[in-house]
Structure 1
Amino acid sequence: MVKKTHVVWKLIPFSAVAFLGFLAVGLPLPVLSLYVHERLGFGTLIVGSVIGLQSLATLLTRQYAGRLSDTRGPKLTSLVGLLFASVAGLSYLAAGVLVQHPVESLALLCVGRLLLGLAESLFITALAAWSIGRVGSEHAGRAMAWSGIAMYAALAVGAPVGLVLYRAAGFSAVAACAVLAPLVGAATASTWKAFAVERMAARTSFLRMLRMIWAPGLGMALASSGVGTISAFLPLRYSMAAWPHAGFTLAAFGAAYIAMRLVLGGLPDRLGGYRTGLASLFAETIGLGLIALAGTPLTALAGATITGLGYSLVFPSLGVEAMRRVPGENRGLVIGAYLACFDLGLAIAGPGAGAVARSYGIPGAFAAAMATALSALILICVDSRCLRKSVPIGNQI
């Protein structure tokens, strides 16, 4: 068996490329809400919709990305995805040039968000499959964990850097970095040896798979929807309250997420998925509530940090429960279905929070986010009790 330290060293290059690719997401993310609202003059519903477009595109292309990786190989798929991410940055650049024409600029931003959603689906899916091919299927969980670390590291680093660039040199500077980062990742990955990925032996309906995992899947969708409000509206929360250092608060969220994954990432396996998930969702609910009620930037910082600590283990915790509900030969498909639930939550977070913010203000959007996290907590609590009173679902299939 490959030692843990050797596995980690093999995974780090894949995480580094995923980090570079996801910088195309993390750098512009806190800037987009400010640019659309303050420079282009659109309302919070439009802001949320622009943010949510990327996750919607990722959701709709998740199956396509997996099929392309299986048939054409993860190397080609990841390179195509990284190049699409760079093209999305070019679309942002064009939008920045047309800042005096708000409708045209907004349209180019929407094109960029859709391209970035496709790009993320391609390179994240392919790099995960590629890394699993490198370390072996027995280390698939650790490979997926490191993929998540790379994504949130890019958010933690990209958010403050993006805001600094925006304040110092404008939106075009942020867009230029979003063009370059995935190109560096593509150049790096192009030098690696390709690894074949085993195709899924058994075929099962995607809808049937969703029915099997509906409880943890819906819980994940609700949890990610709540956290998606941070990405879409935390910079506006700070801007409207005239608070400084919104980027630092986003970085604190990302850093807390990463630290929890690194230090306590094995808790779902040791304590059980639902037990860990309940504690994690409780922390997420408290954190989002603090942001909604915050009267000072320090309180909002504390709320974002607590949210990051809680949300970090929601994905692996509920994922463990989803995996237990299906036969082993369908694990590849259940991962895709579970990721689709994650994407769905992020896709509805932007426009949903934007609609609430239009009627009740930005703090109201975070109160709604707290309510979605609380709903996930209640759902998982009820389903956990039902499982204890019945035959394990995996034995019924």
Structure 2
Amino acid sequence: MRRDTERLLTAPFLLSSAANFLQSLAFNLYLHLPGYLKELGAGEVGIGFVFSVTAATAIVSRPTVGRIMDAEGRRVVIVAGGMLNVLVCSLYLTIHDLGPWLYAVRIGHGIAESMLFAALFTQAADLVPAARRTEGIALYGVSGLLPISLGGLLGDVILTHAGYARLFQASIAFAAASLALSLPLRDHRPARDVTPARSFLASVTEGDLLPLWFIGFVFASAITATFTFLKTFVMETGLGSVGLFFSAYSGAGVLLRLAFGWVPERIGPKRALFPALTMLAAGFLVLAAAGSSIAVAVAGTLCGLGHGFTFPILSGLVVARARPAERGAALSLFTALFDGGVLVGGPAFGLVIRLAGYPAMFTTAAAVMLTGTIAFAVWDHRVEVAALATTRARET
């Protein structure tokens, strides 16, 4: 029987998960934003650029977010980010063309999401027992995976019976509900008698963290292929729907985490990581060859299984390798990798679509994923060998 100190489903953990679920649901309604942008006259490259502006803003703000979290606590960032998120979601109702105001709103959205994703995620990592870290992060991640499915499905329903204004109104409601649940949260940071935190740059450039930043960026860039362009792929081909793909995606990921979340810690994180990354690549290849709605659902399932393990395993490795006093900085950078993936992957994959079409784009995403996985395996092995040699040298 596990000790009370090893419990995962504590009241603070559940409250943090609920707040994340609602803000993620608000965020994932914008999986349908490319459709609105297309109605306004944007092409695939333009859509990728709009999303890249948001990502660039989030990346620039991450170091500040990380420093504030480590110095002042997670709660202040969560509440401020929640308030900004409600405001920004409201401003989408004022966007009627592709002018500068669109980019101003997207910049605000990038700041809000960088604050919420980083702070809520770090809050959850603080609450998870070290002995069950990957399992705990995997369970917490369910609150982020389910909204991918629900956001796609709910968006399909709203847009079938109403318009984009109603979609934006729904996002406002979910953002406000998340803010309300965030107010009772309290900080659970590591004890202050640990090693003092260094500068943001020093804390995130430790040698054993660098391979994790690399594979995290590769993972984030590759999944941009679906998160940014699945909507326009469906619109052009008539295959499946956003709701179908992301329901299969999140359903597979959630079931994997609930039933087998303990596996990475039982067999070793990296032994579970490499098959997960391979499943993601397989999902992209199925999409590249898709000729039916069933193929779209199969692709969603494969991608969801891959994502289901990849994210919590990488997160757990980051937490394990970073200093406790620098956890906020490390996880801020880790979550920023996903914005970096959009920043690079959005325009790049959009250009591939323009030049060669959707099958070539999804094939490219698979190639990026597989090549990056091999490079990470070699790099991280060398880091581990060097660390082991250093440890042995100190003992002699």
Q: What TM-score range do you get, normalising by the shorter chain? A: 0.7 to 0.9
TM-score by length of 1: 0.87
Let me know the Cα RMSD of the aligned residues.
Answer: 2.8
Matches of 2:174 and 2:181, distance apart in 1? 11
Cα distance change, pair 325–129 in 1 and its aligned pair in 2 (3 A): closer
In structure 1, the gaps of 5 or more residues are none
Q: Aligned residue for 2:50?
A: 50
Q: Secondary structure at 1:103's aligned position in 2? A: coil
Q: Secondary structure at 1:254's aligned position in 2? A: helix
Matches of 2:23 and 2:169, distance apart in 1? 14
- The 5 A counterparts of 1:154-173 are 154-173=147-166
- The 5 A counterparts of 1:121-140 are 121-131=114-124
Give deviations 1:304-357, integer Å, cap 9, x for gaps: 210110122112333444456555665554333333334322332222211211
Q: Aligned residue for 2:36?
A: 35
Cα distance change, pair 86–216 in 1 and its aligned pair in 2 (3 A): same
Matches of 2:323 and 2:123, distance apart in 1? 23
Shift of 1:384: 4.9
Q: Is the 8 A contact 2:135 2:262 kept in 1?
A: no
Cα distance change, pair 76–17 in 1 and its aligned pair in 2 (3 A): same
1:297 equivalenced with 2:290 (yes/no): no
Q: Secondary structure at 2:357's aligned position in 1? A: helix
Q: Is the 8 A contact 2:42 2:98 kept in 1?
A: no
Matches of 1:263 and 1:369, distance apart in 2? 28
TM-score by length of 2: 0.87
Q: Aligned residue for 2:308?
A: 312
- The 5 A counterparts of 1:93-242 are 93-95=93-95, 98=96, 102-104=97-99, 107-131=100-124, 144-190=137-183, 192=184, 194-195=186-187, 197-198=189-190, 201-208=195-202, 209-210=204-205, 212=207, 213-242=209-238
Counterpart residue identity of residue 108, structure 1: W
Matches of 1:90 and 1:393, distance apart in 2? 55
Q: Aligned residue for 1:249?
A: 245
Q: Is the 8 A contact 1:290 1:299 kept in 2?
A: yes
1:273 equivalenced with 2:269 (yes/no): yes
Shift of 1:75: 2.9
Q: Aligned residue for 1:15?
A: 17
Give the aligned length: 387
Shift of 1:161: 0.5
Q: Secondary structure at 1:28's aligned position in 2? A: helix
Structure with larger RCO (C-alpha < 8 A, sep 6+): 2
Matches of 2:361 and 2:50, distance apart in 1? 16
Counterpart residue identity of residue 84, structure 1: L
Shift of 1:144: 3.8
1:83 equivalenced with 2:78 (yes/no): no
Give deviations 1:198-236, integer Å, cap 9, x for gaps: 567433344443352222211111111111211111121
- The 5 A counterparts of 1:346-357 are 346-357=342-353
Shift of 1:288: 0.8
Q: Secondary structure at 1:197's aligned position in 2? A: coil
Matches of 1:376 and 1:20, distance apart in 2? 33
Q: Structure 2 residue aligned with 1:365, among 354, 361, 374?
A: 361
Name whichever of 355-364 and 132-141 sits farther off: 132-141
Cα distance change, pair 189–216 in 1 and its aligned pair in 2 (3 A): closer
Counterpart residue identity of residue 79, structure 1: V
Cα distance change, pair 143–388 in 1 and its aligned pair in 2 (3 A): closer
Cα distance change, pair 167–194 in 1 and its aligned pair in 2 (3 A): same
Cα distance change, pair 380–50 in 1 and its aligned pair in 2 (3 A): same
Identity %: 23
Q: Is the 8 A contact 1:34 1:235 kept in 2?
A: yes
Matches of 1:17 and 1:123, distance apart in 2? 10
